[in-house]
């Protein structure tokens, strides 16, 4: 991660616009403060990816908040190629004043140079492939797929510098770490899945109770009367796993990541706090 930060810092002078890619389910928790340091004053578009997995009302609330703070922000679903044209138009809008001045000087317009920065597993490689129109970047549903930097041409309008994901070395807030873990930004092998499942169940009980009931054949009484630990035990039994709580926990996390538990946003929009 230190190497990735150093390389990004060195190359940032070469680009016009930064795309800061975050997970729409945790738009604030997936904003790496190290990336903010790298970006500095460079024009930036905050892109909330995986919007299909997030609560649409919460996503809109986050977009409204960021724009009220003077931060350009758009929501996309790179996996299903939704919102990409809107993002490209936003990039063009950012650069329009610069190109207008260049045109007045008689300087021909050139491709816009982009850099995508974000934490691991935020969908950078998928977004790049949607931009380019063919598989130029490795993709995978696990952190750390992109290993090095390289320039990619996107038609005649853009040139894009691909970079590895940058995860911060220490979380000041344990809640942020849990959210990153639940959404897959941290390798599962480093985690206790039962702790994550309990954290997720607590959120779902409060915000997605109906989905939780339907998915795991629970009753209203189960949600009202059982503690989160007992709820995990009940779901384990409903899965036919007897007392294999670890496997049940893995299934619950997988269900969340694969959208089987509906659209959910773990970060509460500021305007709702």
Listed by start position, the domains of the chain span 2-162, 192-267
CA distances from 205 to 122, 136, 230, 243 (A): 26, 41, 13, 22
Residues 23 and 46 sit within 8 Å (Cβ to Cβ): no
Looking at residue 11, its pLDDT comes to: 86
Sequence-ordered alpha helix ranges (H) in 40-83: 56-68
50 belongs to an annotated ligand binding site: yes
* Mean pLDDT, range 224-242, rounded to an integer: 96
Looking at residue 140, its pLDDT comes to: 43
Q: Specify the range with the lowest mean pLDDT, choosing from 86-90, 188-192, 221-225, 268-272.
A: 268-272
* pTM as predicted: 0.89
Question: Has residue 2 got a pLDDT over 80?
Answer: no
Question: Has residue 141 got a pLDDT over 60?
Answer: no
265 belongs to an annotated ligand binding site: no
Looking at residue 4, its pLDDT comes to: 75
Confidence of residue 144 (pLDDT cuts 50, 70, 90): very low
Tokens for 162? 């691909």
Q: Which superfamily is assigned to 2-162 in CATH?
A: P-loop containing nucleotide triphosphate hydrolases (3.40.50.300)
23 belongs to an annotated ligand binding site: no
* Mean pLDDT, range 262-272, rounded to an integer: 85
30 belongs to an annotated ligand binding site: no
101 belongs to an annotated ligand binding site: no
Q: How many CA atoms lie within 13 A of 96 on its CB side?
A: 7
Question: Has residue 91 got a pLDDT over 50?
Answer: yes
Whole-angstrom distance, CA of residue 65 vs CA of residue 86: 19
Q: 152 or 1: which carries more pLDDT confidence?
A: 152
Looking at residue 143, its pLDDT comes to: 45
122 belongs to an annotated ligand binding site: yes
- 176-191 as b/e: b if 16+ CB within 10 A: bbbbbbbbbbbeeeeb
């Amino acid at each position: 991660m230190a190497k990735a930060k150093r390389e990004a810092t060195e190359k940032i002078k070469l680009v016009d616009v930064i795309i800061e890619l975050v997970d729409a389910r945790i738009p604030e928790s997936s904003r790496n403060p190290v990336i903010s340091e790298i970006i500095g004053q460079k024009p930036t578009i905050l892109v909330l990816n995986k919007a299909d997995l997030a609560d649409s009302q919460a996503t809109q609330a986050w977009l409204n908040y960021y724009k009220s703070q003077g931060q350009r922000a758009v929501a996309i679903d790179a996996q299903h190629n939704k919102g990409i044209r809107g993002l490209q138009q936003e990039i063009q809008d950012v650069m329009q004043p610069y190109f207008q001045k260049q045109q007045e000087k008689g300087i021909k317009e050139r491709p816009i140079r982009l850099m995508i920065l974000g934490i691991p597993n935020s969908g950078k490689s998928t977004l790049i492939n949607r931009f380019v129109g063919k598989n130029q970047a490795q993709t995978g549903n696990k952190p750390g797929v992109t290993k090095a930097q390289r320039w990619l041409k996107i038609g005649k309008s853009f040139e894009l510098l691909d970079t590895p994901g940058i995860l911060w070395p220490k979380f000041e807030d344990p809640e942020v770490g849990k959210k990153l873990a639940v959404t897959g930004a941290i390798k599962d092998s480093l985690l206790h899945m039962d702790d994550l499942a309990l954290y997720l169940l607590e959120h779902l009980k409060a915000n997605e109770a109906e989905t939780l009931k339907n998915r795991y054949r629970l009753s209203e009484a189960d949600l009202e009367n059982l503690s989160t630990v007992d709820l995990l035990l009940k779901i384990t039994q409903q899965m036919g796993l007897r007392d294999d709580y670890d496997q049940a926990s893995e299934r619950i996390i997988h269900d969340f990541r694969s959208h089987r538990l509906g659209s959910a946003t773990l970060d509460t929009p500021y305007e709702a706090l």
